[in-house]
Amino acid sequence: MSKQDLMEEDTSWDLWIRTRDPEAGDILVQRYTPLVTYHVQRISSGLPRNVSRDDIMSLGLHGLFDALTKFDPSRDLKFDTYASFRIRGTIIDGLRKEDWLPRSSREKSKKLEDEITKLEQKLLRHATPEEIASHMGMSVDDVYQTVHEHYFSNVLSIDEKVNDDDDEGLKSFVIKDQETKTPEQRTLMTELVGDLITKINELNKNEQLVLNLFYTEEMTLTEIGEILSLSTSRISQIHSKALFKLRKLLASEIVDGGIL
């Protein structure tokens, strides 16, 4: 950002904070819209195809405006950080309220999980996506997508809310059991981390790299695609396949096992 742009942004912030000047507000919205786009891309990677990207963007922009309205520059907190919590929180709350995954999809997801369990009990090992697809009479891509949606719906089911009275005005994640972890839970968590490391090391190089760039470096699927010279859809497929391979640990242990 040039010196002139910085001066314009500082002036806009001053006008917005003091007088809620509409023009200054528009300038700030334009300045931080790329931040909204970033979070929309990351969250959308786990959503089914029927969810409109425009609807997610609209929720994100609403979160940005909420952040602009409530931000207190006197606090020792960068606006980018504050806005990120508000943007993500608004999108996730909106998705939950709209019940983005239809009942039919939830039933399909539950049936798939049940059938995978039955198939693996019969095989006495983890079933491959191809074996599951053949067993269910569906395509391999549908298997990946359904498992991905099931995992993301579990993430959204965590009880979250925005606590406006929080000292930092940030997103508060409220999970029912706030008590200190028991020795058994700590032991289970240690074992889980070890299992995850082992399982991740069993993924191929592309799958490991995509997971690392997406979850550790917090890059979007589009950015990862540019690095690997692959299309966004191809990166999304690699991401889904990697999560599928880790599904037992990620979905069952973390979400259903009470480790959180």
Confidence at residue 145, expressed as pLDDT on a 0 to 100 scale: 76
The number of residues making up the chain comes to: 260
> Do the Cβ atoms of 189 and 182 come closer than 8 Å?
no
Per the CB < 8 A criterion, the answer to whether 60 and 87 are in contact is yes
Q: Provide the 3-class DSSP secondary structure of residue 162.
A: strand
Tokens describing residue 172: 């508060």
Report the distance separating Cα 18 and Cα 169, nearest Å. Answer: 20
Paired strand residues for 56: none
What are the CA-CA distances from residue 109 to residues 106, 127, 178, 232, 254 (Å)? Answer: 5, 16, 29, 24, 18
Q: Write out the two tokens for 78.
A: 């960068």
Sign of CA dihedral 251, 153, 128, 124: positive
Domains belonging to the chain, first-starting first, are: 3-98 (1.10.1740.10), 102-176 (1.20.140.160), 179-260 (1.20.140.160)
Model-level pTM?
0.63
Amino acid in the structure at residue 207: E
Q: What is the pLDDT of residue 58?
A: 94
Scored b (16 or more CB within 10 A) or e, 59-89 reads: bbbbbbbbbbeebeeeeeeebeebbbbbbbb
pLDDT along the chain (260 residues), means of 10: 70 92 94 94 76 90 95 87 91 78 75 88 87 91 77 56 42 42 60 69 89 86 91 86 74 44
The pLDDT of residue 126 = 79
The pLDDT, as a whole number, for residue 162 is 39
